[in-house]
Amino acid sequence: MHYKVAVIGLGYVGLSLSTFLGTKTDVIGVDSDYEKIRLLSKGKSYFYEPKLEYYLKKSIRKGLRFSND
């Protein structure tokens, strides 16, 4: 079974959750902060967590998307 998940709010928990779920399923992360969305879409995190950027880039290649709508 293939799931589609939306994560509302890309703070510390939301970003980590969407990044790691994004390695296995379709995920769209939603946040109202345009600059945060712009940064994340480039595969860059705005905070440090070990290996987060590695998994973020991997998830983006698999289809992780970000939006402020």
The 3-state secondary structure of the chain, one letter per residue:
CCCEEEEECCCHHHHHHHHHHCCCCEEEEECCCHHHHHHHHCCCCCCCCCCHHHHHHHHHHCCCEEECC
pLDDT reading at 61 higher than 90: yes
Beta partners for 5? 27
Please report, for the chain, the start and end positions of each structural domain, with discontinuous segments joined by +.
4-62
* Token reading at 47: 């905070």
Which H helix or E strand runs over 4?
Answer: strand 4-8
Q: For 26-45, what is each residue's pLDDT tens digit?
A: 999 999 999 999 999 999 99
